[in-house]
Structure 1
Amino acid sequence: MTVYAYAEATSCVQGGALRFHLARASRAPLHGSVLLEDVSADRAVSEEEFDGPLWTFDVPADLPSSLYRAVFTADEDASEVYFVVRAARPRSPILLSIPFPTWQAYNRAGIPGESVYWTEQATRASRVAFDRPGGGPPPERWEEGMLRWLGPAGYEVDYCSGLDLHDGAALLSGYRLLVVNGHDEYWTAGMRDNVEEFVRRGGNLAVFSGNTCWWQFRLEDDGRTMVCYRDAVTDPMATVEPGLTTVEWSSAPVNRPENSLTGVSFRRGAGTWGPYMQLMHEESYTARFPEHWVFDGTGLGEGDKFGQGCIGYETDACDFVEVDGVPVATGRDGTPPSFVILATADLRHWHRYGQGGMATMGVFGLGAGTVFTASTVNWGNTLRDPAVDRITRNVLDRLSGPPAGWEVIGPAGSFRALTVCDSQLYGVGTDGSLYRRDVSGQNLRWHRIDSGGGVVAMATPREASTTRPIGLYGLTGDDRLVYRDPGPQAPWTVLGEAPSGGVGLALVDGDLWAATADGGLWRLPPETAEWTLVDGEAGAVALTAMNGRLYAVCSGDRVRTRLPVAAAAEWSDLCSAAGCTTLTAHAGRLIGAAADLPLRWRAPVPDHRAR
């Protein structure tokens, strides 16, 4: 006769205890064996016996944090229960969440009154209990591929249940990176609030999942009841606290698109269900920004396809437009303006099979942290693909390590001067032309707008300047100070002479600062036409300013900084220049370039600064 089992929690800590409840359909004695298996390591841990309706697992203090399965067998019948063992203290910078809420949502799908599925069935339940059998992974095992890959790939990670994130601020604080994997569709407000705050404070999030954070649910009865009405009309919370209504996160009255957490949403994604699910194995991603660090070591070029089958039966995407052959997020759907699209899959033909749309792999900054999203359910099950493997390693390595430095924002070019004006990035190329593009992390194309006027260094005053017009100031190769208004058709006007051999230019509080090839640092206040030598041994090869501070690329491929005082002052070493030979700054970032090196940016903080 069938034996039924469930655990009192979806996770327990090393050295703790977890109780299991057992029952049988008949009055036969409750006696049998329980086999404990480490799902991630694919190995048996122990085999014990149970006798009666309760069995307690005393978790050894040294049992590895992982996903486990307890298989209860009585006679010929068996019942399995999944649970996580959490680390008593962090042993890894990486924490991986198991989507128990989503597993529970699909438990007994289609049985009237026993599941929140199917979505539009009138007999679906609005409340389901965790205290019942079932609630394990689906037959497709969306999560298992990555769990089995991590250890052999050299990654030791700690595990938690998705429910642990609900009150998980303290849990998250011990980690550098949270990994969401597989199919993580159901999130509480507490889960989302804590994860978003974790990233804003400098943690990172890697979403190797699709259909992520699509539905909001609530926890009741001390966290043992899952509440999801899927309908604001029937959810009593809609008139009490509308933000907690159990509908899609992007729907009214919640109006909090998951894009602000993941950068993407199933709203713009695609799905192929039922007998058409196998079509996912025909689809691939197309690389759109191969110079980005996410693609390092893959060998992929722009337009190359990779990861056939990784797309999965459900995908997420952001709203985007094509600009000069480059995908650019519009932000109309709530996607953050910093979202950078790395790869796309056009799945609009899936409208015949469930939902047509796109998949957009990308990355963006959220506060002090970074979010990467693969935007697909089946990523972890295609890690045998070399590109998928390499991308996953790049993400795990970078986001679990110290804060990174320079980040590529465009393909290689040859520029000898850069500046930012009116949120546009201007560059004078080695061909003598003036180019322009938006300031963005996306790999946008440069557009030639005019002659560069012989300029070898540029600068622009920041807003609210009353001493000099807002525009492009330049030093020319024949030692002149010139100016032009921003825009496509404007003449260069000579303002006066410049120090001989200028290589860098900066503007601070109306003062022009020039760096020269002989190591000099010169100053020109707005009230005079005479340049003054401030420091004869600055040694700068590029110069810029931001927030009342000078930044220079100096010998040894280093960025150094000092205050703009009219006297010799010590330069403080800041970070690597990464080969950059021209420099500008905007909105808290240094932007650099060099001949035949990709355009890049970084925050002006020391290399490998600890959190």
Structure 2
Amino acid sequence: MDHERIPGNAEDAGRRRFLALATGAATAAGLGAAAGCANGGDSAAALKPKGAGKESPPASGGGPGLDVRAENARPGNADWRVARPGPARAIEGFADKVSVLPGESFGLHVSTTAPRFTVSAYRMGWYGGARARLVWRSEALAGVRQPEHTVDADTRMVRTRWPRTTSVDTKGWPEGCYLLRLDAQGGEGQRFVPVTVRSAAATGRTVIVNAVATWQAYNRWGGYGSYDGPSGGYASRSLSVTFDRPYEYDDGAGLFLVYEAPLVALAERLGIPLAYATSTDVARERRLLEGAAAVVSLGHDEYWSPEQRAHVTAARDAGSNLAVLGANCCFRRIRLEPSELGPDRTVVCYKTSYAQDPGFKRGHPATADFRSQPGADPESSLLGVIYDGYPVDAPYVVTNPGHWLFEGTGVQAGDRFAHLVGVEYDKVDTGFPTPRPIEILAHSPVVCEGRPSHQDTAYYTAASGAGVFATGTMRWVEALDATGDGRGGANHGLDARAGALTTRVTENLLRAFAAGPAGRTHPARDNVQAVYGGS
């Protein structure tokens, strides 16, 4: 294994099929055959609240910030899902801000073939199992078919340049993750637009970070994403992608529903103090994470800017716990640039072509993998684990059943949980910078296109007292919804046992991390030599 870099082309050749797997259009077996295993300014009408439930007062109690228990005690709305997607391009849109503070406004850019449409804002949470609450709904708005997109000749970035349809005021909206549902008149189609109402501060709270840069990298709306273009080839990929376009996947929700929503529901059900932010917020605001009890990276959080990494590292070094609930985290180094609609709305990542990047020529860090030269900085120094390959589909094997995170699960050494390791995985590899002491909880054999290896779930404690936990598998958050009855997790054969395991471990983790620096009460006991037989 080359510790300097993972060959980009070998990995990216199969990534175009990745989201088909995540959204249920493919199976793990089918994906493996094609993928390479790589180790390594128009006038805007301001919408006004209308109808019952549209002017909810902020949740009270709990001091500054969101009162999670009070918010989730409110009645939910189980009809939030897209039930009638309609034909392609019937209705779709995007917000001109990835996140806003409570009470701020954002623009909504909508294209539809219907004469009129409405917007419904759902806050995602637990709500007694409904998973969402209707916070606001618009009056009927005039629909218009927006101009066709263009593609930048140099970067192959898709541009929409759609005029703003309307402005949305978030007065009275609690902090959290939102899906705005666009409903075309006459049932012609429905589509989501995600937006985060972010927290102004994180002191004493567990910060859930929406991985929006990764959502956008995998977005192929307009035919181009960060992995390929219409030809399906790596060479035709976008070198920059923009938030100024709808999301193609999951009815416009991007990666949120598969990789993030199940964790949001669980955390809000627990009622621990929470704060919300996006990856672009963490990158932009140096002090946002100050005093945070914990920072949570969700199921697929691959694209990070150097600023985001520096701010998360500083939070860890100040005692904030870090939970990494996916795999392949902090792998791509990006640069955030403005678009015509505002700052930080363009994700630049040239990958193996970084030398062509005008920003690199001006002295910016290479937008290649963090572990690659120039400026190699492997992600393991922060996460404890390192990305090792794709694609795999393997059982999750418990190695350390006495660990406090397994409390209440009843697991024994060698217990296996089918399909829980996939589709990407991480491991502890001391050939890379690895914080010590680090403790391996699960050590699962995998074979990635003929190459035997292992997936590891690991926990280490930092000098600051912070605890850092990494699942080492991308299916962890998805498995939280696995019931074995054909609903959550069914796409990968995840069953109720996997759902029960991941739920209990995540509950133990979130409660302990919410209480303060976990390393002070739960220090890691290094077992790398016992597991791997090395140093």
Once the two structures are superposed, residues 211-246 of structure 1 have per-residue CA deviations (whole angstroms, 9 ceiling, x without a partner) of 11111111112211111111233224445436x211
Residue 396 (structure 2) aligns with: 285
Is the radius of gyration larger for structure 1 or structure 2? 1
Q: CA deviation at 1:98?
A: 1.0
Of 121, 128, 134 in structure 1, the residue corresponding to residue 234 of structure 2 is 121
TM-score normalised by structure 2 residue count: 0.66
TM-score normalised by structure 1 residue count: 0.58
In the superposition, relative to structure 1, how do residues 334 and 149 fare at CA in structure 2: closer, same or farther (>3 Å)? same
Inter-partner Cα distance in structure 2 for 1:332 and 1:228: 26
Q: How does 1:58-97 map to 2 (within 5 A)?
A: 58-61=169-172, 63-75=173-185, 76-90=188-202, 93-97=205-209
Residues 93 and 177 in structure 1, CA contact (< 8 A), matched pair in contact too: yes
Residue 23 (structure 1) aligns with: 111
Inter-partner Cα distance in structure 1 for 2:289 and 2:242: 26
Of 106, 121, 133 in structure 2, the residue corresponding to residue 36 of structure 1 is 121
Alignment RMSD: 2.8
Residue 387 (structure 1) aligns with: 501
In the superposition, relative to structure 1, how do residues 401 and 262 fare at CA in structure 2: closer, same or farther (>3 Å)? same
Once the two structures are superposed, residues 229-273 of structure 1 have per-residue CA deviations (whole angstroms, 9 ceiling, x without a partner) of 11233224445436x21111111113111111111121x24424x
Q: Match of 2:502, SS?
A: helix
Q: Are 2:470 and 1:359 equivalent residues in the alignment? A: no
Inter-partner Cα distance in structure 1 for 2:443 and 2:433: 18
> What code does the residue aligned with 1:20 have?
L
Residue 431 (structure 2) aligns with: 332
Residues 169 and 198 in structure 1, CA contact (< 8 A), matched pair in contact too: no
Inter-partner Cα distance in structure 2 for 1:292 and 1:223: 41
Once the two structures are superposed, residues 414-443 of structure 1 have per-residue CA deviations (whole angstroms, 9 ceiling, x without a partner) of xxxxxxxxxxxxxxxxxxxxxxxxxx4668
Of 378, 384, 396 in structure 2, the residue corresponding to residue 257 of structure 1 is 378
Q: Match of 2:183, SS?
A: strand
Q: Are 2:368 and 1:247 equivalent residues in the alignment? A: yes
Residues 34 and 70 in structure 1, CA contact (< 8 A), matched pair in contact too: yes
Inter-partner Cα distance in structure 1 for 2:423 and 2:196: 26
Once the two structures are superposed, residues 525-565 of structure 1 have per-residue CA deviations (whole angstroms, 9 ceiling, x without a partner) of xxxxxxxxxxxxxxxxxxxxxxxxxxxxxxxxxxxxxxxxx
Q: How does 1:516-535 map to 2 (within 5 A)?
A: none
Inter-partner Cα distance in structure 2 for 1:155 and 1:74: 37
In the superposition, relative to structure 1, how do residues 82 and 32 fare at CA in structure 2: closer, same or farther (>3 Å)? same
Q: Are 2:338 and 1:228 equivalent residues in the alignment? A: no
Q: Match of 1:69, SS?
A: strand
Q: Match of 1:32, SS?
A: strand
Q: How does 1:309-348 map to 2 (within 5 A)?
A: 309-319=419-429, 331-347=430-446
Q: How does 1:424-435 map to 2 (within 5 A)?
A: none
Inter-partner Cα distance in structure 2 for 1:79 and 1:406: 46
Residues 286 and 305 in structure 1, CA contact (< 8 A), matched pair in contact too: yes
Q: CA deviation at 1:408?
A: 6.2
Q: Match of 2:299, SS?
A: strand
Of 124, 141, 158 in structure 2, the residue corresponding to residue 51 of structure 1 is 141
> What code does the residue aligned with 1:233 have?
A
Residue 563 (structure 1) aligns with: none
In the superposition, relative to structure 1, how do residues 7 and 409 fare at CA in structure 2: closer, same or farther (>3 Å)? closer
Q: Match of 2:326, SS?
A: strand
Inter-partner Cα distance in structure 2 for 1:356 and 1:80: 41
In the superposition, relative to structure 1, how do residues 172 and 299 fare at CA in structure 2: closer, same or farther (>3 Å)? same
Residues 309 and 382 in structure 1, CA contact (< 8 A), matched pair in contact too: no
Q: In structure 2, list runs of 5 or more residues that go unmatched.
A: 1-88, 126-130, 143-163, 481-495
> What code does the residue aligned with 1:168 have?
E
Inter-partner Cα distance in structure 2 for 1:386 and 1:256: 36
Q: Match of 1:46, SS?
A: strand
In the superposition, relative to structure 1, how do residues 262 and 291 fare at CA in structure 2: closer, same or farther (>3 Å)? same
Q: Match of 1:169, SS?
A: coil
Of 448, 458, 461 in structure 2, the residue corresponding to residue 350 of structure 1 is 448
Inter-partner Cα distance in structure 2 for 1:46 and 1:265: 42
Inter-partner Cα distance in structure 1 for 2:324 and 2:443: 16
Inter-partner Cα distance in structure 2 for 1:399 and 1:306: 26
Q: CA deviation at 1:106?
A: 0.9
Residue 469 (structure 2) aligns with: 372
In the superposition, relative to structure 1, how do residues 258 and 409 fare at CA in structure 2: closer, same or farther (>3 Å)? closer
In the superposition, relative to structure 1, how do residues 140 and 148 fare at CA in structure 2: closer, same or farther (>3 Å)? closer
Residue 418 (structure 2) aligns with: 308
Inter-partner Cα distance in structure 1 for 2:523 and 2:281: 35
Once the two structures are superposed, residues 19-77 of structure 1 have per-residue CA deviations (whole angstroms, 9 ceiling, x without a partner) of 212234x6x75x4211112233333333213536432221133x332211112233323
Q: CA deviation at 1:138?
A: 3.9
Residues 400 and 440 in structure 2, CA contact (< 8 A), matched pair in contact too: yes
In the superposition, relative to structure 1, how do residues 147 and 110 fare at CA in structure 2: closer, same or farther (>3 Å)? same
Residue 436 (structure 1) aligns with: none
Q: Are 2:207 and 1:108 equivalent residues in the alignment? A: no
Residues 110 and 124 in structure 1, CA contact (< 8 A), matched pair in contact too: no
Residue 76 (structure 2) aligns with: none
Q: CA deviation at 1:166?
A: 0.5
The share of aligned pairs that are identical, in percent, is 28
In the superposition, relative to structure 1, how do residues 3 and 295 fare at CA in structure 2: closer, same or farther (>3 Å)? closer
Structure with the bigger percentage of strand: 1
In the superposition, relative to structure 1, how do residues 122 and 392 fare at CA in structure 2: closer, same or farther (>3 Å)? same
Once the two structures are superposed, residues 134-170 of structure 1 have per-residue CA deviations (whole angstroms, 9 ceiling, x without a partner) of 2632497122222232333444522211211112332
Q: How does 1:138-537 map to 2 (within 5 A)?
A: 138=255, 141-221=258-338, 222-231=343-352, 232-241=354-363, 244-266=365-387, 268-272=388-392, 280=393, 283-301=394-412, 303-319=413-429, 331-347=430-446, 349-351=447-449, 357-368=453-464, 369-383=466-480, 385-404=499-518, 405-407=520-522, 440=526, 444=530
Equivalent pairs counted in the alignment come to: 384
